[in-house]
Structure 1
Amino acid sequence: YRGLTQDVQILPVDYEIEYICRGNRVIVGPKVRKCLQNGTWTDMSLHSRCCNSEQRKKKLYIGALFPMSGGWPGGQACMPSAQMALDLVNNRSDILPDYELELIHYDSMCDPGEATKLLYDLLYTEPIKIVLMPGCSGVSTLVAEAARMWNLIVLSYGSSSPALSNRQRFPTFFRTHPSATLHNPTRVQLFQKWKWTRIATIQQTTEVFTSTLDDLEQRVKEAGIEISVRQSFLTDPAVAVKNLKRQDARIIVGLFYETEARKVFCEVFKEKLFGKKYVWFLIGWYADNWFKIKDPAVNCSVENMTEAVEGHVTTEIVMLNPETVRGVSNMTSQEFISALMSRLGGKNPEETGGFQEAPLAYDAVWALALALNKTVPPLKARGRRLEDFNYNNHDITAEIYRALNTSSFEGVSGQVVFDAQGSRMAMTLIEQLQGGSYKKIGYYDSSQKNLSWFGNDVWIGAGPPADRTVVIEEFRFLSQKLFAAVSVFAGLGILLGAACLSFNIYNGNVRYIQNSQPYLNNMTAAGCMMALAAVFPLGIDGHHVHRSQFPVVCQFRLWLLGLGFSLAYGSMFTKIWWVHTLFTKKEEKKERKKHLEPWKLYATVGVLLAVDFLSLMVWQIVDPLHITVEKFTREAPKEDLDVLIQPLLEHCSSQKMNTWLGVVYGYKGLLLLLGIFLAYETKSVSTEKINDHRAVGMAIYNVAVLCLITAPVTMILSSQQDASFAFASLAVVFSAYITLVVLFVPKMRRLITRGEWQSEQQDTLKTGSSTNNNDEEKSRQLERENRELQKIIQEKEERVSALRNQLAERQALRSRRRPSSGQNQNHNASQPDPKSLLPPPGYPNPPTDNHSFSNSSIPLLYK
């Protein structure tokens, strides 16, 4: 037995006692070694008395880097905690009885550059350090990567970087602070608990936070959660915070040191990125009053900071055992806190950096002491001692590594166990800032996937906010009042068209109606009715039909309007075209009359319809119409709700809509312009064959003007459903109304006021239905005969002119051959024989005036 605590008088002869000499103790009995003054023992068979002598302990040195300032001033509480552990270990007779641990420490300021210089001093300044103890992750990364070159074990109390779990890069590294990746399963669990599927992140550009975020990104991806925004900064977070605001980040994970946290939340206050719409997740190892500490680099007041950080959630490794259990140091967690407070001299824990991590530093010293103690027997068996350690001794380092790797004890921070990567395994504490102070709201054990929830979480709003602005899609529909009003007018227009069509058909035998080309007028009425019918599908939208049926409505719009226009306008254009062709051309200032054949009129309308039909058919085959949805700028409702309205509008469109519209509008636009020109050219023409061509011209004027104005306006106003529909539908309605009224109302009035239909009907009853047909046939025959006679007359005129020329030549020749004998004779000789000047038989006598030949007009003979 070692370390007896009472005097021993008699010992059994069967046991060998190894006793550390202490004063005023007498050992009597066989096989007891005598303790000499120099600290050695006599032969075991001698009876001896233990001498009162003091044994000098050998010192083992630990090189520590405590950040007393910087991004994480954890050394303010961790160094007193580690020193307290060292005092207790050195006073224990059962742990390293022959050794005394001594701490040699420097302030690393949590700066890797400063730590590099201090590491050099530790390594190249006596005495030799058997273990290194850094704090911050950045410093630990530097120290742990270099330590293997000096065969040094590194035991960190405050490093959380996931990168330090790389055994190939850091083969001798251990830490009592768990990896920061241990926070990530807890965060994912909370995201799922509060039904968030979209988060954002902002990080300080350091390896510890970058690797933590990489791990978080992988975990949330596996959980089906999206990281919509990922921002980073080096020193100034202003731009990163603005980007979070601009991209509507709501659930934000922040990874940065305490100093940068104050800068971030000052910008958060300025951008109003806090309140009931936002939740921030921060690291839990900041000081409890970190946001109240005055910082010259932060130009926000304490009140501003307190308002900005209210309600945020922290996740932190459980660093203080919540159970009242005495661990290896014979101290409970609460007793440890009391002792630490005593060492701090009553300093406010909230103002002491690293106060939360202090138990980890305390347990780190105990883990090191127990591991060193465990290495003594195996080293002694090989003739080695701990004090023999130097930077080239790999065997002692390997023994310390094995001892730490198998450590397992109850510390003030809980059960201390290291995983294969040298990282501490622990539970996670979840806290929320409520009313300016942190409240525990749950624990999460990632190894057991068990969430212990207290149910005391508090939210500024009615509950956890949404992970994004709720966007409500709202389709814009046509005003039903406008649609109903225009539909009434269109319906009345269709009735008017039907009445006009019936009138025209019923009075088709009336000569006045016949002379207006009634079949073309019927086509005009039918086309107007089709165009008016297109008003109804123009106003039908998702309010009336299902989305799957909407393409059919698009087809009805296109075909009814296209063919209706071609039929109505095409028939009027045909009339005005033929009037211009037949009655406005002049040759040598003489009017020429041609015969008007009805089949040519119908053929012209057919050509226009065929062009329209083929173009629409090709359009629908090559690039059919389908539904496209136009999105407008999101609108915020008047109520203070965390929602936005996304206005949507359905359109009938195709892939190359503008190209097709350009072709159709160009073709029809040319027809409209040509129609205006022809109507102007024929305004003074008067003909009985098409007796309503002036009315047709008036209708063409109105239709062309309305269409040429409406087509571009509706394209411009396509995003305004009411205005677009109003322009398009009213243009169709007015065009149809004007056309029907101008073409048919005068005919109705004439037949009613003059009673022409009565006389025509009586004639029809007397002569039979074939009279009109016979008259028309006779008229055509007479016109053909008239044309033939005109040709004959022209030939005769040419013959008469030739004969006159010959006669004049003969007279001139005779006058030169015969000399004149006298004035009377010459006069008589110069007079031609009246009989010789007579025209050929069958022609009337010419006038006796000397100038009659030159002034005569042969057409008068025909007349």
Structure 2
Amino acid sequence: MEQLLFLVIFYLLPTLISSIHNSTTGGCAIIRPPRDGGIRYRGLTQEQIRSVQILPVDYEIEYICRGSRIIVGPKVRKCLHNGTWTDMNQISRCLLVCPRSWMSLENGRVALLPPGQPVEGTVLHYNCHAGFLLEGFNISHCTKLGKWDSPKPFCFYDSNYTGKKKLYIGALFPMSGGWPGGQACLPAAQMALDLVNNRTDILPDYELELIHYDSMCDPGEATKLLYDLLYTEPIKIVLMPGCSSVSTLVAEAARMWNLIVFSYGSSSPALSNRQRFPTFFRTHPSATLHNPTRVRLFQKWGWTKIATIQQTTEVFTSTLDDLEERVKEAGIEISVRQSFLTDPAVAVKNLKRQDARIIVGLFYETEARKVFCEVFKEKLYGKKYVWFLIGWYADNWFKIKDPAINCTVENMTEAVEGHVTTEIVMLNPETVRGASNLTSQEFLAQLMSRLGGKNPEETGGFQEAPLAYDAVWALALALNRTVAPLRAKGWALEDFNYNNKEITAEIYRALNTSSFEGVSGHVVFDAQGSRMAWTLIEQLQGGSYKKIGYYDSTKGNLSWYGNDKWIGLGPPADQTKVIEEFRYLSQKLFVSVSVFAGLGILLGIVCLSFNIYNSSVRYIQNSQPYLNNMTAVGCVLALAAVFPLGIDGLHIQRSQFPVVCQFRLWLLGLGFSLAYGSMFTKIWWVHTVFTKKDEKKEKRKHLEPWKLYATVAVLLAIDVLSLLIWQIMDPLHITVEKFTKEAPKEDLDVLIQPLLEHCSSEKMNTWLGVVYGYKGLLLLLGIFLAYETKSISTEKINDHRAVGMAIYNVAVLCMITAPVTMILSSQQDASFAFASLAIIFSVYITLVVLFVPKIRRLITRGEWQSEQQDTLKTGSSTNNNDEEKSRQLERENRELQKIIQEKEERVTELRNQLAQRQALRSRRRPSVPNQNQNHSVPSSHAEPPSYSPATDKQSLPPSFSNSSDLYQGEGKLSRNNCHNSRLPLLYK
């Protein structure tokens, strides 16, 4: 019975659990145990554990570890109603415990992080009491193997202990690299430490000691050195990095160890960020302090356009971003912005190509030599250029031999001459004694003594040495002010460790309120921890730097000495002066073309007057004089458009130019519609009448003039409507086209900017496409109609062939001129000449072809001769006799067609009779077998009975007698054998 019950439970339990999970109460999925551990399931056997997937709500599991490992994190988890286990945001791990003997230190202190069991990830910080020195590593880590990663250190007695407690400053001095500022800054800092330690009124119970390394101004090297400073004894209370790239790395990491970072040589604006660098201070002002001075100088010399070139590091990028904001506020434009990583050749070439004149350079000293070697090669120096550089380079930086460049010292000296530097005032110009009881000149004398007589120009960081000196004094004074507040709280400076935020906060407050006189001037920090100072302005004159002024950015006060020198007559222009010069039409060309246009207008008026005066003459009437009048008027309007085509800014004011543009458009449009439209109407009517069938042709030969005038009116209305829509929706206005700048022949710092005025609109190409498309179709259709009607003669319009010739000329000239003028639009003389001459030639040809023959006819033959004739051939046209002969031939042709049809019917009838007769013969001779089988069909030339050829011949017209044989082949009548003079088919 018990076994049966067990089997039932064993097989039904998974189903029950699954149903529980699917019910409204829910359940939790089994989770994995931690590594090197397991899970104790309460109330379940091993077999049940293997088969169960879901555990019910409120079920508890317990983690267990193997061997000597212990649980770190939640040990028991409970299934919740939402299907999850408790504390799932906390990881449970089975870890080995490191020996606890490392957690105590004789004559010293041990800090455990995080508090709790010494398991994997635990860190121990060791610190010896005063008078004892630590032997070994000051930090030890517990590994996953349950062992510490370093031997246990110990504290031994310091035989040199004087009773003063030591405070250690970890410093990174760049002795080499992009800025070898440690060469002078390290001796200056050591000099300050000696003076501080000898003072009885400053930190009397403490002694400051400097632990320093060479960072080479390299963030990668600085990372390794920072690790050594943090993880080797003794504990450092403050860190002192040098260049900006290293300070960025150190200051961002230092807050994790609650360390104050105090820099003496960092100028990066990015370091002025309290969220990113909460414990950072510096005696070197931010590089952005140069920017107000630069902007003030730009304004002083009247420059509104500058260029920049920078090395791609954070310090220079941040400085340039700040400069861009400041110059924008001042109304100054950065026209060119170039950057480089290691090789500035391409960037310098781009500056030259884009005509940069006033150039701000932001880069380290070694890169500065590379830049100016390229500047010499590109000739980007001299009287046209001004370079603004950083002022903290060594004074002879351009004379130092550098294997990375291939320029001589003479080349470099020539290239850098005249450049301007802005530099933070790093040495107090006044003779005052500050906190160190030294004047600035006394400080320089002692520093020179420590340098052993080295040339200051060849010593890196000599200019920044006062900042390093004052940085040590600022730290000492701040630490001295923290002694009393810390003592009141039961703390001391020697109690500092990397976990003590209280001591760090006191040091921060003391530094933030610092204010004293140093050898570099008054030392005070802003809210971002940056030094506030004046800016020194210098210029390289004759190979050496000369002071030309000071600028106080806090008050906006510029102190100017007035000793600045320039290679030219004065400060150069910020850009090549561009003189705008309009291109105008050649006046000789305009006058010449205008004369021809004027003569053409006179010719048009003469032709119009002649046509009106002789409108009653029959010959003139048959040429549709009203249409010819329209042609003459259109020609006059087209010629009148030549004058506004040649008018430009030389003749009228700019405000009047849109009116001229409209005159051009309307005169050309209306002139074309009247002149070409009237000719097109004539040729259209001729083609319509004489290409129809005979019965329709006869009906339409009666000419109704009003239809011709209506056609011209429609064409004119289309043009007027389209021009009105164009003028209302997108009116023409003046636009100015700019061409490539040209250099004058004289050696002047100017360029000529050629300009050309155009008549244009917003959608000019669209409108031109519509107009050209419509006019082009009319021209093509006109050519086609003229070709189709070239051999037609009519008395209603006796000059249609002359019209066709005029249409040919107009169409060809227009279709060539339209695209060519668009291509030549930027060449005012060529464009005007091509367009105006095309108009003149078209008009002259039209007037001469249409009117001159009429004038000549009336003059030579007289008016009465025109009345005796129906039509008069113009050019190559035929006379009235030819037209009458044509009508007679048509009538004769119709008569001959009737005769041919009758003869064809007679031939058909004779064939039928011949076939019947042959059938009768075949029935009469049936008894002759197979005889003449091949000849059973009679010859096709056999004549039927009662047929007489002469009879038919007598019935034919005389032209069909003699040799005109009406039978060919099978006796078909051939039309081609008719005499040519009598039977031509006169169809057209």
For 2:626 and 2:425, locate their aligned partners in 1 and report how far apart those are by CA, in whole Å: 96
Supply the AA of the counterpart residue of 1:598: P
Q: Deviations over 1:651-691 (max 9, x none)?
A: 22334433433333333334334434444454444544433
Supply the AA of the counterpart residue of 2:527: A
2:452 equivalent to 1:345: yes
- Give matches, 1:187-336, under 5 Å: 187-336=294-443
- Give matches, 1:752-763, under 5 Å: 752-754=859-861, 756-757=862-863
Q: Deviations over 1:195-233 (max 9, x none)?
A: 333333332222222222232233223323333333333
Partner residue, 1:462: 569
2:566 equivalent to 1:473: no
SS at match of 1:712: helix
2:220 equivalent to 1:113: yes
2:685 equivalent to 1:570: no
User: TM-score of the superposition, structure 2-length normalised?
Assistant: 0.69
For 1:420 and 1:601, locate their aligned partners in 2 and report how far apart those are by CA, in whole Å: 92
CA 1:313–1:679: 2 relative to 1, 3 Å: same
2:764 equivalent to 1:657: yes
Q: Select the residue among 596, 600, 603 that pairs with 1:489.
A: 596
- Give matches, 1:790-801, under 5 Å: none
CA 1:577–1:388: 2 relative to 1, 3 Å: closer
After TM superposition, give the deviation of residue 66 of structure 1 in Å.
Answer: 0.9
SS at match of 1:171: coil
SS at match of 2:545: strand
Asked whether the 8 Å contact 1:245–1:271 carries over to 2, the reply is: yes
Partner residue, 2:46: none
After TM superposition, give the deviation of residue 529 of structure 1 in Å.
Answer: 0.6
For 1:738 and 1:235, locate their aligned partners in 2 and report how far apart those are by CA, in whole Å: 72
For 2:815 and 2:461, locate their aligned partners in 1 and report how far apart those are by CA, in whole Å: 79
After TM superposition, give the deviation of residue 319 of structure 1 in Å.
Answer: 0.3
Asked whether the 8 Å contact 1:111–1:139 carries over to 2, the reply is: yes
For 2:313 and 2:766, locate their aligned partners in 1 and report how far apart those are by CA, in whole Å: 55
- Give matches, 1:83-162, under 5 Å: 83-162=190-269
After TM superposition, give the deviation of residue 538 of structure 1 in Å.
Answer: 1.3
Q: Deviations over 1:694-740 (max 9, x none)?
A: 43333333323322322222122122111111111111111111222
CA 1:577–1:141: 2 relative to 1, 3 Å: closer
CA 1:582–1:453: 2 relative to 1, 3 Å: same
After TM superposition, give the deviation of residue 591 of structure 1 in Å.
Answer: 11
After TM superposition, give the deviation of residue 179 of structure 1 in Å.
Answer: 1.6
2:855 equivalent to 1:748: yes
Segment drifting more, 72-81 vs 635-644: 635-644
CA 1:619–1:393: 2 relative to 1, 3 Å: closer
For 2:255 and 2:694, locate their aligned partners in 1 and report how far apart those are by CA, in whole Å: 114
Asked whether the 8 Å contact 1:74–1:353 carries over to 2, the reply is: yes
CA 1:399–1:602: 2 relative to 1, 3 Å: closer
For 2:550 and 2:200, locate their aligned partners in 1 and report how far apart those are by CA, in whole Å: 38
Partner residue, 2:630: 523
For 1:599 and 1:399, locate their aligned partners in 2 and report how far apart those are by CA, in whole Å: 109
Asked whether the 8 Å contact 2:389–2:422 carries over to 1, the reply is: yes
2:527 equivalent to 1:413: no
Supply the AA of the counterpart residue of 2:298: F
CA 1:585–1:141: 2 relative to 1, 3 Å: closer
Q: Deviations over 1:406-463 (max 9, x none)?
A: 3322211111222233222111111122222211111111111111111222223333
Partner residue, 1:638: 745
Q: Deviations over 1:51-107 (max 9, x none)?
A: xxx975544332221110011100001111122222333333443444443322211
For 2:208 and 2:957, locate their aligned partners in 1 and report how far apart those are by CA, in whole Å: 153
Asked whether the 8 Å contact 2:283–2:531 carries over to 1, the reply is: yes
Partner residue, 1:445: 552
- Give matches, 1:831-842, under 5 Å: none
Partner residue, 1:843: none
Asked whether the 8 Å contact 2:953–2:960 carries over to 1, the reply is: no
Supply the AA of the counterpart residue of 2:804: G
- Give matches, 1:717-728, under 5 Å: 717-728=824-835
Asked whether the 8 Å contact 2:623–2:796 carries over to 1, the reply is: yes
CA 1:340–1:513: 2 relative to 1, 3 Å: same
Q: Select the residue among 263, 278, 294 that pairs with 1:171.
A: 278
Q: Deviations over 1:304-331 (max 9, x none)?
A: 3223322222111100011122223332
Q: Deviations over 1:542-575 (max 9, x none)?
A: 2223333322222221221122122112222333
SS at match of 2:821: helix
For 1:116 and 1:848, locate their aligned partners in 2 and report how far apart those are by CA, in whole Å: 131
For 1:731 and 1:55, locate their aligned partners in 2 and report how far apart those are by CA, in whole Å: 110
Supply the AA of the counterpart residue of 1:345: G
% of aligned pairs identical?
87
For 2:553 and 2:700, locate their aligned partners in 1 and report how far apart those are by CA, in whole Å: 104
Q: Deviations over 1:225-274 (max 9, x none)?
A: 33333333332333333343344433332222212222222333333333
- Give matches, 1:484-563, under 5 Å: 484-563=591-670
CA 1:334–1:578: 2 relative to 1, 3 Å: same
For 2:513 and 2:772, locate their aligned partners in 1 and report how far apart those are by CA, in whole Å: 86
CA 1:708–1:371: 2 relative to 1, 3 Å: closer
Asked whether the 8 Å contact 1:583–1:592 carries over to 2, the reply is: no
- Give matches, 1:11-26, under 5 Å: none
For 1:417 and 1:382, locate their aligned partners in 2 and report how far apart those are by CA, in whole Å: 27
After TM superposition, give the deviation of residue 852 of structure 1 in Å.
Answer: 5.9
Supply the AA of the counterpart residue of 1:617: L
CA 1:398–1:706: 2 relative to 1, 3 Å: closer
For 1:252 and 1:600, locate their aligned partners in 2 and report how far apart those are by CA, in whole Å: 76
SS at match of 2:778: helix
CA 1:735–1:118: 2 relative to 1, 3 Å: same
SS at match of 2:550: strand
Asked whether the 8 Å contact 2:619–2:866 carries over to 1, the reply is: no
Coordinate RMSD, CA, aligned:
3.9
CA 1:173–1:586: 2 relative to 1, 3 Å: closer
SS at match of 1:636: coil
After TM superposition, give the deviation of residue 383 of structure 1 in Å.
Answer: 6.0
Unaligned segments of structure 2, at least 5 residues: 1-160, 869-882, 910-945, 947-951, 962-980, 984-988
User: TM-score of the superposition, structure 1-length normalised?
Assistant: 0.78
Number of aligned residue pairs:
744
CA 1:377–1:708: 2 relative to 1, 3 Å: closer
For 1:166 and 1:686, locate their aligned partners in 2 and report how far apart those are by CA, in whole Å: 98
For 2:546 and 2:387, locate their aligned partners in 1 and report how far apart those are by CA, in whole Å: 15
CA 1:447–1:515: 2 relative to 1, 3 Å: same
For 2:400 and 2:236, locate their aligned partners in 1 and report how far apart those are by CA, in whole Å: 36
Segment drifting more, 327-336 vs 605-614: 605-614
For 2:220 and 2:311, locate their aligned partners in 1 and report how far apart those are by CA, in whole Å: 18
Asked whether the 8 Å contact 2:582–2:754 carries over to 1, the reply is: yes
Supply the AA of the counterpart residue of 1:250: R
CA 1:660–1:388: 2 relative to 1, 3 Å: closer
Segment drifting more, 321-330 vs 544-553: 544-553
For 1:593 and 1:78, locate their aligned partners in 2 and report how far apart those are by CA, in whole Å: 112
For 1:157 and 1:285, locate their aligned partners in 2 and report how far apart those are by CA, in whole Å: 13
SS at match of 1:701: helix
Partner residue, 1:775: none
Asked whether the 8 Å contact 2:251–2:277 carries over to 1, the reply is: yes
Asked whether the 8 Å contact 1:585–1:592 carries over to 2, the reply is: no
After TM superposition, give the deviation of residue 480 of structure 1 in Å.
Answer: 1.8
Partner residue, 1:691: 798
2:776 equivalent to 1:669: yes
Asked whether the 8 Å contact 1:203–1:231 carries over to 2, the reply is: yes
Supply the AA of the counterpart residue of 2:216: M
Asked whether the 8 Å contact 2:316–2:362 carries over to 1, the reply is: yes
For 1:192 and 1:353, locate their aligned partners in 2 and report how far apart those are by CA, in whole Å: 33
